[in-house]
Amino acid sequence: MKTIDRSMGLTQWVLLLVLSVLWGGSFFFVGVAVAELGPLTIVALRVGLAALALHALILLLGQRMPRDPRLWMAFFGMGLLNNMIPFSLIAWGQGHIASGLASILNATTPFFTIVVAHFLTRDEPLTPARLAGVAIGFGGVVYMLGAEVHEGAVSHSWAQLAVLAGALSYAFAGVFGRRFGALGCSPLVAACGQVTASALVLLPLALTVERFWQQPWPGLDTWAAVFGLALFSTTLAYLIYFRLLASAGATNLLLVTFLIPASAIVLGIFVLNERLEWRHLAGMGLIGLGLAAIDGRPLWWFRKMAYAYRKARREGAGR
């Protein structure tokens, strides 16, 4: 069995940064596409194109998709929780709020995951440190939502709640996805199966509900955003994600949650001309503090640096 390197080398750090840009870029791509396409159409194209790309990759690697009905039922369940629900809710939410704010709210996924895993699994209890992190993180969310409600921005409040509901769906997907290991399914096949199942449901739904062909034909920028969303933020991101999961472990992958809002905010401000309020940045700070409390490593790094500093001072004083 391959050993997981929890300290992470240079290659893994680079891949982690690339993954954060790809996932942060998804909020940018949706922010571009939502101006001319409906949320269901965006999501249907995203999973449909990603499914085609992943199927092509599986063929190139000489693998085959399974035919076991039980496995395909799991694919549809994972597709519902990990693609259909969150992608659609977040895309709809981005029609009303900035992509940077959506990425900040999406960073609450680990908090929801901890709570869901506590009640639905036996090996991930809610420890005091995790409970403190969840409380701090949700405090940031309440602060941002409370300001919107106080100012009467109802549509913005519903949009933020939609993104939070998407994050909750991701949390259930994280717990649900644990069964694929027991079913003997490789990560690449699992990724291909879930986006394929999602496409089979979303494509006819989008065609029936939104009928995008009856609207003005989208411009080149919109189509470029859709292809970027499907090929870079979904297909390539899945491949990097599963490589990191195998080599660095799920705990190290939590670090990507700290980094996604940074790239999404930068792209939103400098490319989409979006603007975030100070309360959004303050809320992001509380969410980041909550994630740090859960992960534990920032505190460990601080203690390590403090110890090294004290040691250097003692050695300097002894000369």
- Per DSSP, the residues of 262-286 read HHHHHHHHHTS-----HHHHHHHHH
Distant-in-sequence, close-in-space partners of 237: CB < 8 Å, separation ≥ 6? 19, 22, 23, 26
Tens place of pLDDT per residue across the chain (319 aa): 444 445 567 788 888 889 989 999 999 999 999 999 999 999 999 999 999 999 999 999 988 899 888 899 999 999 999 899 999 999 999 988 888 888 888 888 888 888 888 888 877 787 787 788 888 888 877 777 766 655 555 567 888 899 999 999 988 888 887 777 667 778 788 889 999 999 999 999 999 998 888 888 899 999 999 999 999 999 998 788 877 766 665 556 666 777 788 888 888 888 888 777 777 778 778 877 777 777 666 566 666 676 676 776 776 666 5
Q: Is 309 exposed, middle or buried (0-12, 13-18, 19+ CB in 10 A)?
A: exposed
Q: What are phi and psi of 106, to 5 degrees?
A: -65, -25
Whether the CB-CB separation of 244 and 59 falls below 8 Å is answered with no
pTM: 0.82
